[in-house]
Structures are given as C-alpha cells and as structure tokens.
C-alpha cells in the first residue's frame, strides 16, 4: 500500500480452507497509529464458472465483493464489481 507517496507495510497470513476450495487472507498493519485489520476470501464458483472475492475490515462497515475470470491461460485473474 502507498499513503501520500510513502510505502506502508503490513502482515498477511494466507491459508486454504474447506478442503482447498477457498483461500482466506488475514491482514494487519498500523495505519497512522491505529490498528488496521482486514479479512478476505477468494474462491471459484463451479455453477457460474467465475472467481469471487470478498473483503471486510475494521475501518468500514460494508462488504466489498468482486467477481472474476481467468486470463492468460490461468496465469492471471481479472476481477470486476
């Protein structure tokens, strides 16, 4: 992340759950002296044939979600709202 041109660092713990079907991301960092904590999930929906991503954090109250498809022979994924 970059804030006002200065790089910011944090810690991300990433692991697979649900028999390897879903990846979870736990993210923590210090943001201007306040603790920032975020939680993301990424997976693939067999029915719609799309990838999905969700995000929540302690500085907002909403759920951020995106859907995506494979690109470049599976080497990349493009997510959109």
pLDDT per 10-residue tile (average), the chain, 81 residues: 72 96 96 91 94 94 91 84 76
Calculate the CA dihedral of residues 75, 3, 60, 27 and round it to 10 degrees: 50
Q: Quote the pLDDT of residue 9.
A: 86
CA distance 59 to 45: 28
Backbone angles phi, psi at 75, to 5 degrees: -80, -15
CA distance 8 to 23: 24
């Amino acid at each position: 992340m970059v804030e006002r041109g200065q790089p910011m660092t944090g810690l991300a713990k990433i692991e697979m759950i649900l028999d390897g079907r879903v990846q979870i991301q736990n993210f923590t960092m210090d943001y201007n002296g306040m603790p920032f904590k975020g939680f993301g999930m990424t997976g693939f929906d067999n029915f719609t044939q799309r990838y999905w991503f969700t995000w929540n954090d302690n500085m907002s109250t909403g759920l951020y979600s995106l859907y995506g498809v494979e690109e470049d022979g599976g080497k990349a994924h493009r997510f959109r709202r």
